[in-house]
Amino acid sequence: MSISSIGPDASKVHETADKYSHMWDNEEKLAERKANYTTLVNQYYDIATDFYEYGWGRSFHFAIRAEGETLEQSIARHEHYLALKLGLRPGMKVLDIGCGVGGPMMEIARFSGANITGINNNAYQISRGQRYVKQNNLDEICRFQKADFLHQPFPDNSQDAVYAIEATCHSPSKVEIYSEIFRVLKPGALFACYEWCLTDKYDPSNPTHRYIKKQIEIGDGLPDLDTTETTLKAVKEAGFEIIEAKDMALYDPRNPVPWYQPLVPSFSLSGFRTSNVGKYATHYLVKTLETLGLAPKGSLQAHTVLLQAHEGLTEGGKTGTFTPMYFFLARKPAN
């Protein structure tokens, strides 16, 4: 990561971070966050993308792991799982909703041979992703479409499959985003999703649980987190038939390393940047560089947002009140 070039315009980092922070001044701003979700998400990813790539790579999502499996291997396997569930193959027209810089899209395209279009409303991420796609010689089957995922520029009944990996949580309404996906899918086609959700362990009357929820929302640019129950209800309301639904974050003896493990203290070289030690080392590095004028003003404020995400996600995982991988596979009825 080049900290001196964070975001699409280093001269505007402070302004962007400041505007983002004001969206969280008080709880009464929930309606404002939902109404201005595209601005909220764009501001978040303008200030967070470089940090994400530095600490996580080009696939901005979690995965459970087998013993001895690397983070990169588990991430790829998590993506392959979606491709297999959707039955992706060469020639299929597929949408990746909220594709980031295209890491999962490239991996799934290599694995399946399908033609994938990644939808993203953040110009900075698209510019980076287009470069990566070309560098990997995948520009014939991977492309980007700048668009609001609630208003997709595709005809009705035009897509063979759709998937979303920890992205539709940014929508102000699950029913709206799932309905738009329903619209563009061909009859009988499948939609697979890893959704961020509060679990049935979440107690809204518990102050600690509410704090965890708020830290995740602020730290990850989310208007409001939904429960698994609300999520499935929205899938059905959008018109889908649910084929399968399960929390893939629950303990699995074949994959016993929990999804949040990279966020807990670690002294291994591979886990340093995402660990507690690594995050504070990075934080003080950013502070020093900003003080010396080697990083743009606002960089520290941007990294502070990421620290809130780190805290909320870690505690959400440990308490079991939050999952980033509530998986469901749904079908658009054939008639």
Instruction: Map out the domains of the chain as residue ranges.
Output: 1-335
pLDDT surpasses 70 at 223: yes
Assign 232 a pLDDT band (cuts: 50, 70, 90). very high
How confident is the model at residue 228, as a pLDDT? Answer: 98
pTM for the model: 0.82
How confident is the model at residue 79, as a pLDDT? Answer: 97
pLDDT surpasses 90 at 280: no
How confident is the model at residue 222, as a pLDDT? Answer: 84
Q: How far apart are CA 82 and CA 114, in angstroms?
A: 13
pLDDT surpasses 70 at 24: no
CB 145 within 8 A of CB 119: yes
**Average confidence (pLDDT) over 137-155:** 96
- Cα distances from 173 to residues 34, 115, 179, in angstroms, run 8, 28, 10
How confident is the model at residue 57, as a pLDDT? Answer: 79
pLDDT surpasses 60 at 47: no
| % residues pLDDT > 90 (the chain) | 61
Better-predicted residue by pLDDT, 264 or 140: 140
Least confident of 20-24, 61-65, 213-217, 229-233: 20-24
Better-predicted residue by pLDDT, 13 or 222: 222
Least confident of 54-58, 107-111, 267-271: 267-271
DSSP assignments along 75-124, one per residue: HHHHHHHHHHHHT--TT-EEEEET-TTSHHHHHHHHHH--EEEEEE--HH
How confident is the model at residue 289, as a pLDDT? Answer: 47
Say whether domain 1-335 belongs to CATH 3.40.50.150. Answer: yes
pLDDT surpasses 60 at 216: yes
pLDDT surpasses 80 at 291: no
How confident is the model at residue 2, as a pLDDT? Answer: 40
